[in-house]
């Protein structure tokens, strides 16, 4: 493992998918979708550095989002083997990773399914809120990983279903912003990192 592979795993687990077509036209693709182009450009940088491949970042979903597409068999099998096509727990052996590698996995996950928002209190003072939203079976393992890195996590709440009763349960984890910074964690997403730094400039 290394920090770039760790980030690839995190971003893929958050908002990625893989396809394997093994008929007459063999195809091995990895796609990640995001509101933030810089997240996908960094994903592309990590992918092209670690695997012999090219990556394409473009608009999608009628221009509302960005998408990166990587066509590479080795990347697909790496992601699949490490995560069980996202059905397994977090990557096997993660407890033996270096702290830097764990930090990059967290960055990939927070860049995709994490958030940090800035609002105002009734007294017109700034208020930052940080959290993570996901419906995966490994949600609770992510919470445990954050806590092992020194992050204080609040209650995980079940979000209401938006589509149907058959929709998979989705949980929202509340994260203490100060402890996230103190643990040396970060976003690679510039928009989110700027909010984190604005919090740090005021309280740390």
Contacts of 24 (CB under 8 A, 6+ apart): none
Question: What is the reported pLDDT for 166?
Answer: 66
From CA 84, how far away is CA 77, in angstroms rounded?
10
Query: Strand pairing of 65-71 and 27-34?
Result: antiparallel
| Model pTM score | 0.92
Residue pair 128/177 in contact (Cβ under 8 Å)? The answer is yes
Buried b (16+ CB within 10 A) or exposed e, 28-51: bbbbbbbebbbbbebbbebbbebb
Question: What is the reported pLDDT for 24?
Answer: 62
pLDDT tens-digit map of 84-109: 766 666 777 888 999 999 999 999 99
Residue 60 belongs to what H/E stretch?
strand 55-60
Indicate the DSSP class of residue 87: T
Q: Which residue has the tokens 């919470």?
A: 143
Q: Which residue has the tokens 């509340």?
A: 174
pLDDT tens-digit map of 118-130: 888 777 788 899 9
Indicate the DSSP class of residue 165: T
* β-bridge mates for residue 21, sequence order: 27
Q: Tokens in use for 175?
A: 């994260």
DSSP helix/strand/coil, 193: helix
Low-confidence ranges of the chain (pLDDT < 50): none
Question: What is the reported pLDDT for 129?
Answer: 95
CA–CA distances in Å: residue 146 to residues 6, 35, 41, 141, 152: 15, 24, 25, 9, 8
From CA 204, how far away is CA 200, in angstroms rounded?
5
Question: What is the reported pLDDT for 121?
Answer: 79
Question: What is the reported pLDDT for 75?
Answer: 96
């Amino acid at each position: 493992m290394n920090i770039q592979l760790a980030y690839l795993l995190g971003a893929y687990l958050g908002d990625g998918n893989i396809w394997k077509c093994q008929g007459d036209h063999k195809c091995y693709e990895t796609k990640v979708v995001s509101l933030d182009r810089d997240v996908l450009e960094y994903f592309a940088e990590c992918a092209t550095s670690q695997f012999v491949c090219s990556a394409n970042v473009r608009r999608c979903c009628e221009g509302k989002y960005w998408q990166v597409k990587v066509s590479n068999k080795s990347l697909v099998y790496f992601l699949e083997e490490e995560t069980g096509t996202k059905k397994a727990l977090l990557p096997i052996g993660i407890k033996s990773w270096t702290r830097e590698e764990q930090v990059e996995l967290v960055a990939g996950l927070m860049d995709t399914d994490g958030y940090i928002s800035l609002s105002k209190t009734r007294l017109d003072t700034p208020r930052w809120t940080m959290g993570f939203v996901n419906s995966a079976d490994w949600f609770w393992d992510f919470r445990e990983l954050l806590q092992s890195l020194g992050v204080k996590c609040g209650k995980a709440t079940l979000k209401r279903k938006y589509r149907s009763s058959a929709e998979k349960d989705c949980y929202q984890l509340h994260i203490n912003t100060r402890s996230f910074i103190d643990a040396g964690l970060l976003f690679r997403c510039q928009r989110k990192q700027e909010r984190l730094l604005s919090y740090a400039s005021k309280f740390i």
